[in-house]
Structure 1
């Protein structure tokens, strides 16, 4: 039986390769809209980040997400992303 290949992506915070399912995807659509892609299937340029507040902070300080997506990310999107990571972190620690 053939072994199924697991897609790997790089986190913009820690710069480590991880499986795509472990990471959150942020997408920049053709219309110029930047949003969090919970399904991982929205069309557009994607960047990935771990479900870790440390990775979020590193990515925010160095503006790696903005560079990878090729656009300015609003504070609203950063806020939503931080809330999502904090929520996931709380669930994982229970």
Structure 2
């Protein structure tokens, strides 16, 4: 049987290409709101960040999504991102890759 092709996306913080399941999508909706998109199906412009707490903290320090989407985001957004990434990393440790 043929192996399925794994889609790759670029992590906006580190600039490296990573398999899509190892990333979380951040989306700027047509209404101008920026939010987490765990399903990767929301309408709008998307950017990806690796499911790694250090990378999420680096995104907060550099204000990466402020520049990517052209809007000023509150620290609460970055804190929510860090909490989500930390939760997903712990979940993968407990249950394996899903």
| TM value normalised by structure 1 | 0.84
Backbone CA RMSD of aligned residues: 1.9
Match of 2:56 in 1: 56
Matched pairs, number: 94
Secondary structure at 1:79 match in 2: helix
Q: What are structure 1's unaligned runs of at least 5 residues?
A: none
1:1-94 paired onto structure 2 within 5 Å: 4-94=4-94
Shift of residue 5 of structure 1? 3.8
Q: What are structure 2's unaligned runs of at least 5 residues?
A: none
Query: Residues of 1 paired with 2:78 and 2:64: CA distance?
Result: 12
Query: Residues of 1 paired with 2:4 and 2:69: CA distance?
Result: 29
Whether the aligned pair in 2 keeps the contact of 1:13 and 1:54 (CA below 8 Å) is: no
| TM value normalised by structure 2 | 0.81
Query: Residues of 1 paired with 2:42 and 2:31: CA distance?
Result: 12
Shift of residue 89 of structure 1? 2.1
Task: Specify which structure has the bigger relative contact order, considering alpha-carbon pairs within 8 angstroms and separated by 6 or more residues.
Answer: 1
